[in-house]
Structure 1
Amino acid sequence: MSFHSFYNIWMEQLRQLQLQLRQAEEDQQQQRHLVQKSLSHYDEYYRIKSSSAMNDVLSFFPAPWASSLERSLHWIGGWRPTTAFHLIYTESSILFQSHVVDILRGRSTGDLGDLSPGQLRRVSELQCETVQQENDITDELSEWQDGANYLAGMYDELDQKIERLAGILIRADALRLKTIKNLVELLTPKQAAEFFVAAADLQFGIRAWGSAKDRRSCVRQ
């Protein structure tokens, strides 16, 4: 199976998982089960992607399975890890505002709008750590690009350069997966379920918007 085909199947499975997470509502045991299932789903994605990248890493930068909009937002073949923290802060703010009266009265809602001071501190610490790791990988890619330009006519060394590029992509994907796992670890099952639903909403929303824009561009041409 090509990665393109795998990606389409994976996205459809993600949609089904999102629906199940929405339906779990206040069933904490079901939420915990679905959160673990979601983690496994992302883990499978990056496992298959790493294997495919070792065979054809260059296809992951033009990413023909993604829309033009999605590709414009990519950082080294995928979403920027720190996006997860912006998503947490955004969802937390929206839910806090919707439950502000209850929270001010001391009623715990238990959702992302009710993150504890300890959770917020840990999210901030993880964000700082992730930014540093993002910068390190970005620097590594810049060094790779400088070297690739220098070796443009030296075909005997290109295989090694491409292999190193695959390593950079795999490292970026490892950080993406690590970020998800670190965040889920500090959230309650309900909060983690909300995080996965919001992440899928963002992914599907950008994909739909980008695909519609691509279709309009094709019609104009």
Structure 2
Amino acid sequence: MANEGQPIGRSFSEFFVSWEAQHKIYLDKLLTHQNDTEEDSLKYLVEQVLGHYQEYYQEKSKAAESDVFIMFSPPWFSSYERTLLWATGFKPSMAFQLVKETVGVDLNEEQKRRIAVVREETRRMERQIMRAMANVQESVAAPPFCGLVKREASLVDGEVSEMEKAVEQLKAAMVAVMKDADYLRQHTAGEVLEILSPAQKVKFLAGTSQFWLQSRRLGMERDEQTKMDFQENLLTFFLN
């Protein structure tokens, strides 16, 4: 939960640390129970994991209202993770590749048909969001906004007000894009999960968590290596 008076990047970052730790606990549970046959216990575990994701999106939405810019390049992610971002998160259609890798061989023909329908709907909505993202980028590069930014240090009162209005409009547009993308991520996952059996849901959620955590670990290791290389090169420079 973001604390009043704290910079939003730091407070959400602190939330994210605790959220990630709990996420790892849920992954262990998913892996432990993915071969269980008791459907009620599997359904309860799935509900817990989905509630955990819902908490993330709620906190993210609150944080974006205060500083949406940081959500598009979050410092709590590694450099590698930031290259994977699509409107502040993974691209929704990535879910279908994860379905294929985790439970693809277990799907019956009716499940495959229904997933294909969801995939087409998701791709259509992705295109709409991409157009909205392009409009935001065009507005930033447009002469009125770009000119005000370049002259920011010498703006007079009327132009300052115009600049503030333009920034607020940009923030609102970016928040709208992020929320639409987050809605699509949740909607797509929800539609896919509706099609899967309880056991398949657990395997799919486990695979999704493993993919993200492995990407995160790889990114952190790369950043740490880059930092070590930089320090070594800097030391060599001063010693020579």
Shared fold (TM-score, shorter chain, > 0.5): yes
Q: Deviations over 1:154-207 (max 9, x none)?
A: 513211221121111111111111111111111111000001100010011000
In 2, Cα distance between equivalents of 1:214 and 1:5: 20
Q: Deviations over 1:114-172 (max 9, x none)?
A: 21101011111111110110110010010111112222215132112211211111111
Secondary structure at the residue paired with 2:227?
A: helix
TM-score by length of 1: 0.88
1:132 corresponds, among 101, 124, 148, to 124
The match for 1:79 is 90
In 2, Cα distance between equivalents of 1:92 and 1:41: 22
| 1:191 is the counterpart of 2:200 | yes
- Equivalent pair of 2:111/2:195 in contact (CA under 8 Å): yes
The match for 1:109 is none
TM-score by length of 2: 0.81
Q: CA deviation at 1:28?
A: 2.1
Return 5+ residue gaps in structure 2 as ranges: 3-10, 149-161, 231-240
- Equivalent pair of 1:46/1:177 in contact (CA under 8 Å): no
Return 5+ residue gaps in structure 1 as ranges: 94-112
In 2, Cα distance between equivalents of 1:71 and 1:197: 22
Secondary structure at the residue paired with 1:77?
A: coil
The match for 2:57 is 46
2:137 corresponds, among 137, 145, 159, to 145
- Equivalent pair of 1:70/1:207 in contact (CA under 8 Å): yes
In 1, Cα distance between equivalents of 2:17 and 2:127: 30
Number of matched pairs: 202
Q: CA deviation at 1:46?
A: 0.8
- Equivalent pair of 2:43/2:198 in contact (CA under 8 Å): yes
Secondary structure at the residue paired with 1:80?
A: coil
Q: CA RMSD in A?
A: 1.2
Which one has the largest radius of gyration?
Answer: 2
The match for 2:46 is 35
* Residue identity matched to 2:202: A
Q: CA deviation at 1:91?
A: 2.1
Q: CA deviation at 1:30?
A: 1.3
In 1, Cα distance between equivalents of 2:103 and 2:202: 13
* Residue identity matched to 1:206: S
1:89-168 correspondence runs (5 A): 89-93=100-104, 113-150=105-142, 151-152=145-146, 153=148, 154-155=162-163, 156-168=165-177
- Equivalent pair of 1:39/1:181 in contact (CA under 8 Å): no
| 1:14 is the counterpart of 2:23 | yes
Q: Could you tell me the percent identity over the aligned residues? A: 28
